[in-house]
Amino acid sequence: MTYTNRRLTLHKRPQGLIKEDDLMLEEAAVPELKEGEFLIKTQYLSLAPVMKFYMINGAGIEAPLGIGDTMRGRGVGEVIQSKNSNYQPGDIVQGKFGWQEYVTSKGTADDMMYQVTTQGLSSSTALGVLGITGYTSYFGLYDVGELKAGDQVLVSAAAGGVGCTLGQLATAKGATAVGLTSTDEKCKILIEKLGYRAAINYKTENVADRIAALFPQGIDVFFDNVGGEILDTALGHLNKYARVVMCGRISTYTDSLAEQTYRLKNWHKIGVARGSMKAFFIYDYEPRFGEAKEQMIEWIKTGKLNYHEDVLEGLEKMPEALNRLFQGKNIGKQLVKI
């Protein structure tokens, strides 16, 4: 049986939101498998803000994409052919797929393939709550943020993939969280469905005033997904020994140099609070992923943890899906079903 693969490659570096001709849709027959290879049919592809940064040649932990490269990203899918004894047809795997419908892999360290066991949940969860996104919330809050019972937590991009579980993860350890987001509808979801004690609409409310009112003792843990002005404002309200978790900085993943290099005015407040600010890269926690997965599955099964996925359909929707992250349109983990 022969297959035809469709993939999206980087054609032009985007300016602002991604446009149709920034990417090229290419079609080619899947070559016959060589010894040691296996073929995966993609089920879901994951969207992450940092992908835009790769496209615009931004300097991050991972190298930027070159023109003509297949768009980089994780996916989950089913093994449909195999010449590798570690992978059998029918296995569900997740790893570095790229934006394509069929993936040929050798299962080497570069491809970062994991066998997926989701105990009855959709395979899509392997890219969300039971994947890199969920592990980022888990280790970012508990390990980097050193969360303790009674802590008062502030989360930016609280209704997004990483943010949507953080209110509940805080509650699970006897802490409480307040979320920042861009619409009243999302604020309502944060409080009613996602375990946040309060929410701030950063587009329509005075963020500094609201933080001051909601955190009379100051913030113990600020889990920041956004950077820039929101980070600066939060730094002005830290409690003694506060921990600032530098998870991401989506407000700076733009082609505007002024935004990319936003200069903090309140950085000295970390010193005043005798606090700390720590960045992390989730793949450094790889040896401990199993620990997070086991705990999150238990909490999902016992109703302690709700997860949200925002799913579009079709490879062609990948650019639109990535734009949604920058437009604040997604609620929960943004995915595309292939």
Q: Is 189 helix (H, G, I), strand (E, B) or coil?
A: helix
d(CA 84, CA 39): 10
Strand-pair category, 38-46 with 333-337 = antiparallel
- Complex with ligand NAP: residue 116 or 250, whichever CB lies closer: 250
Closest approach of Cβ 107 to ligand NAP, in Å? 23
Q: How far apart are CB 88 and ligand NAP at their closest, in Å?
A: 30
Task: Give min distance, CB of 140 to ligand NAP, in A.
Answer: 7
Nearest distance in Å: CB 252, ligand NAP: 8
149 or 258: whose CB is closer to ligand NAP?
258
Q: Which is nearer to ligand NAP, 11 or 329 (CB)?
A: 329
Of 29 and 208, which has the nearer Cβ to ligand NAP? 208
129: left (phi over 0), alpha (psi -120 to 50) or beta: alpha
107 vs 227, which CB is nearer to ligand NAP? 227
CA pair distance 253, 335, nearest whole angstrom: 19
Q: How far is the CB of 267 from ligand NAP (least distance, A)?
A: 19
Closer CB to ligand NAP, residue 49 or residue 77?
Answer: 49
Phi/psi of residue 289, each to 5°? -55, -40
Report whether 162 contacts 132 (CB < 8 A).
no
Radius of gyration of the chain measured on its C-alpha atoms = 20
- How far is it, in rounded angstroms, from Cα 215 to Cα 208? 10
- Write the DSSP assignment of 3-55 as a string of letters: -EEEEEEE-S--SSS--GGGEEEEEEEPPPPPTT-EEEEEEEEE--THHHHHH
* Alpha carbons 249 and 272: distance in angstroms, whole number: 23
| DSSP class of 141 | I
Which residues here bind ligand NAP, judged by CB under 6 A?
Answer: 48-50, 133, 136, 157, 159-163, 181-182, 186, 225-226, 230, 247-251, 280-282, 325-326, 328, 330, 334
Shortest separation between residue 63's beta carbon and ligand NAP, angstroms: 16
- In the complex with ligand NAP, which residue's Cβ is closer, 22 or 259? 259
H-assigned helices in the chain: 50-55, 132-139, 166-172, 184-192, 207-214, 228-235, 257-260, 268-272, 289-301, 318-327
CB of 86 to ligand NAP, least distance (A): 27
